[in-house]
Structure 1
């Protein structure tokens, strides 16, 4: 995995800087802190009419799940209880407004992400075994650990680094593309092509064909060997269209979220040197530090659901066809569930949050994400003595609306 050090740094910055045009469509260039507004909104009512960004005070036509959808009524939920109700009722609050057609246009949204009910359960069950906690070491041993150490090799002798681009951004994209059998030098090409699904399909088709002939120990092999039992009880291997559907979803999700959450977690610790020193001495504290960062500032603080029939939520009438935006960020700081919720406190009693969503569509890759974060930060502490923020550089800032992350993370360490 030494090729990881040869990745084009300028290209990584273009693809993985929230302020770039590539990411600004989801509000990546928003520099204000939305949490005070979300707190006021939650205190006023659990559910409001309007979109999260409009209610927060940021007008615009952002693109994200459930947005912009200008012809539908929009509502936003801010309390833990409201989100819990929605996630527990997927028949009323659907993840998609359209049925999935795997033989139609390839897209990450035309996939398991948009399926419901029995269809979703059948398809998810095919890949779930590769993403359970017991399989974390499969990911760590095959892809994560080698990537992490190759990246550190690239700057360990310098005494300084910028960890958002030089470290956090590269780990997830190299992990997920590596699990597909894609060479590191092609990883950024694939990431750049995610908004061109036909191009992604063209890139992975030779790998799919090769794995059908000779399976390997990777995720594409899991997909081509998976057997699906259809509605009529007939069992068959996944078609190319079905494999492509899985691949587009897993590549988009796997390369586009964990880098931001790793940066958030790392920044929270670097801003608290005494806490970072405690974790260096006692690595068991890294797990609660990561879980608290997930609660305190989830990288994707909003997802949406479509109302399938007239209903109400927390006393607010919702018409069929409406979009309900679930503000995970606000719900994860609900004082009805957590004391002092705006504080980052790794000693608090761990309670399940909505950092990875909830219900049947809870994030498939959450255990892989945790493995990437813990392996990455653990390796930094192992190999970079005296790791600290660079006092002579601009400190990292938390930015973004529907995708939260940090700016550059400049650090110094002892050589």
Structure 2
């Protein structure tokens, strides 16, 4: 791993600023708290005709998967029960309206495992899932997460101040994912920037895939190249190069965006609650509870969509075949029918499953890696930056965004240390 100095902080800010042009079309200009509106809508009915941002009263640009689709009817679910019913019926509420096969067609995040349905999705997921099970979390931490985290802290530990979104949070998932691909650090931001130009990523990955076929290493590409799965009839399935490239692009698009935003949200919550920060310093098991509660209380992606495969009457609403159903998982995660005092941030509440990582066949594949990144990164900050606190002279962080929510800048102060001896 190289030094942080090789990463262009200005470029990181351009790629990951929710108020910049990259996120503007996702509703980055939405600065209000949507939860009071969502509570009112959920109290009125569990399902409403319409698109989430329009129902919320936001008139700015807010594109996302399933939008705009002007020729389809749109519906949004708000209660936990209704959202769960959508997740549990993939045969009625499909991930995508058309067949998807990453082995053929244009390379893009849409033509990927995320948008596959039925047996094809199950087979593809079975080939890639072994690297993302809970027991593999330490493999990710040992090989890539810890080094990325500590190298980034090395770059700020002597300064006594930092802006954690840019100086820390944003780079960790990118370095973790590209590191697992065998891509050098100096190309990491090039790869992240090329998500909308996937053939540039293929050019970088092609020699790595070819090399790993002949000479496997302890990395993700090697595992994907040699993954096999047998059907009951003995048919052996392997991933084609196109499927490997598709999955790599999906990881970059999904994994490098959500984790840094959730990390910022969690740090925002901790730093604005000194008593909670002190509790976490004393008991690191409390950090896991903080992260779990932050995922319930403020998931970074509040909505995902499905498509009806047939006419369906659903919670008193008729949905024609081909309708788009928007799952407002953020509203579901604060449903008072499931949680007492749902708007309170309480790490000691009774633990129940949430929809922070989705549910059903498409539950987030990388959730255990994301949790490993969050716990390792925030724990290292507390270990290595004594007296970490918000900078009182700077603007306090706020949560903004419609379909991708995140903290604004997180300016902090801490007692400066010696980089050479700070890792302990």
- TM tier, smaller: over 0.9
How far residue 98 of structure 1 moved from its aligned partner, in angstroms, is 1.4
Aligned twin of 1:211: 212
Partners of 1:200 and 1:233 in 2: CA distance: 34
For the 8 Å contact 1:302–1:327, the answer to whether it is kept is yes
How far residue 3 of structure 1 moved from its aligned partner, in angstroms, is 3.3
Q: For residues 132-211 of structure 1, what are the structure 2 equivalents within 5 Å? A: 132-211=133-212
Aligned twin of 2:89: 89
How far residue 201 of structure 1 moved from its aligned partner, in angstroms, is 1.6
For the 8 Å contact 1:5–1:150, the answer to whether it is kept is no
3-state SS of paired residue (2:3): helix
Name whichever of 199-208 and 287-296 sits farther off.
199-208
How far residue 114 of structure 1 moved from its aligned partner, in angstroms, is 1.2
For the 8 Å contact 2:227–2:238, the answer to whether it is kept is yes
Aligned twin of 1:39: 39
Aligned twin of 1:293: 294
1:58 and 2:58 aligned: yes
> Structure 2-normalised TM-score?
0.96
For the 8 Å contact 1:92–1:308, the answer to whether it is kept is yes
Aligned twin of 2:26: 26
Q: Which 5+ residue runs of structure 2 have no aligned equivalent?
A: 417-424
Q: For residues 252-401 of structure 1, what are the structure 2 equivalents within 5 Å? A: 252-401=253-402
Name whichever of 71-80 and 112-121 sits farther off.
112-121
For the 8 Å contact 2:24–2:61, the answer to whether it is kept is no
How far residue 360 of structure 1 moved from its aligned partner, in angstroms, is 0.5
For the 8 Å contact 1:20–1:29, the answer to whether it is kept is no
CA RMSD between the two structures: 1.3
For the 8 Å contact 1:29–1:399, the answer to whether it is kept is yes
For the 8 Å contact 1:295–1:354, the answer to whether it is kept is yes
Q: How many residues align?
A: 415
* 1:34-66 C-alpha deviation (Å, 9 max, x unpaired): 111111111111100110000000124532111
For the 8 Å contact 2:101–2:111, the answer to whether it is kept is yes
Aligned twin of 2:422: none
Name whichever of 25-34 and 55-64 sits farther off.
55-64
3-state SS of paired residue (1:48): strand
For the 8 Å contact 2:29–2:60, the answer to whether it is kept is no
Name whichever of 99-108 and 386-395 sits farther off.
99-108
3-state SS of paired residue (2:325): strand
* 1:155-193 C-alpha deviation (Å, 9 max, x unpaired): 101111100110000101110110000111111101111
Partners of 1:203 and 1:33 in 2: CA distance: 41
How far residue 121 of structure 1 moved from its aligned partner, in angstroms, is 1.1
Q: For residues 99-110 of structure 1, what are the structure 2 equivalents within 5 Å? A: 99-102=99-102, 103-110=104-111
* 1:249-291 C-alpha deviation (Å, 9 max, x unpaired): 1221121110000000011000001110110011110011100
> Structure 1-normalised TM-score?
0.98
Aligned twin of 2:221: 220
Name whichever of 60-69 and 82-91 sits farther off.
60-69
* 1:282-320 C-alpha deviation (Å, 9 max, x unpaired): 111001110000000000000000000011221211110
Name whichever of 242-251 and 178-187 sits farther off.
242-251
3-state SS of paired residue (2:196): coil
